[in-house]
Amino acid sequence: MRLVIARCSVDYVGRLTAHLPMAPRLILMKADGSVSIHADDRAYKPLNWMNPPCKVREEEIDGVLTWSVVHGKTGEKLVLTIEEILHDSSHELGVDPGLRKDGVEAHLQELLAEHITTLGDGWTLVRREYMTAIGPVDILCRDHLGGTVAVEIKRRGDIDGVEQLTRYLELLNRDPRLAPVKGIFAAQEIKPQARVLAADRGIDCVTLDYDALRGIEPENPTLF
């Protein structure tokens, strides 16, 4: 991972245009090919970013340093105009062991793997915790047509979970043995914003009933 603190302006050119004026910012370039620009607020959320795969071109024109970040598939571009670099370092982080899920999420994963036909008749499990270069996918399975499906499971599904699954799908679809790989975002509760983002990324959403997976009848049955 490369960490750069620099005075820079940022211009995004793609489905729309956006401009960040000159200011000190943190630029993260990760080993997975993603680039994100951060300010000293907004917690973990970047001001702007580019998902992998990306190519970064550095050039100096008339004494002005410019970094162009181009997305390999969509052609979207981030242009960083660098006025001053305050810090520049690179660090090898290695393979991350991944987030340890809480009891409910871990049990949801176990139950869904055991009852994979909850997602559809004729579906089969490939394996739980299918490892990628950036961490394990909760469930890898095949649908009734034999197509590969990656499933990310959360107790409460928000935008971050959709972004996480998107990164997994980018990597899995590079493997000719698996591609094409579809995604399913599964949770007990999925926020509306996450559903909108998932639909935009071509990811299906599934609401999981924890008690039903455990085989517990509801206290107040409904007709629908």
The predicted pLDDT at position 99 comes to 55
> pLDDT tens for residues 51-79?
888 889 999 888 889 999 888 777 889 99
Is 117 within 8 Å of 197 (Cβ atoms)?
no
The predicted pLDDT at position 93 comes to 84
Average pLDDT (202-218) is 81
Q: Greater confidence, 162 or 42?
A: 162
Mean pLDDT of all residues belonging to the chain: 88
Per-residue burial over 128-138, b = 16 or more CB atoms within 10 Å of its CB, e = otherwise:
bebebebbbbb
Cβ-based burial of 120 (10 A; exposed 0-12, middle 13-18, buried ≥19)? middle
Portion of the chain with pLDDT greater than 70, in percent: 92
Lowest mean pLDDT among 87-96, 100-109, 113-122, 156-165: 100-109
Per-residue burial over 156-178, b = 16 or more CB atoms within 10 Å of its CB, e = otherwise:
ebeeebbebbbbbbbbbbeeeeb
The most distant pair of C-alpha atoms in the chain lies apart, rounded to whole Å, by: 73
| Contacts of the segment 195-204: beta carbons below 8 A, 24+ positions apart | 197/159, 197/162, 197/163, 198/162, 201/162, 201/166, 201/169, 203/162, 203/165, 203/166, 203/169
pTM of the model: 0.56
Q: Which residues contact 112 (CB under 8 A, 6 or more apart)?
A: 118, 119, 139, 151, 153, 186, 208, 213
Of 37, 55, 35, the residue nearest 46 (C-alpha): 37
Q: Greater confidence, 222 or 73?
A: 73
CA distance 29 to 3: 7
Q: Which residues contact 133 (CB under 8 A, 6 or more apart)?
A: 32, 95, 171
Q: How sure is the predictor about 45, in pLDDT bands with cuts at 50, 70 and 90?
A: confident
The predicted pLDDT at position 218 comes to 43
Q: Greater confidence, 95 or 20?
A: 20
Of 105, 117, 106, the residue nearest 157 (C-alpha): 105
> pLDDT tens for residues 173-204?
999 999 999 999 999 999 999 999 999 999 99
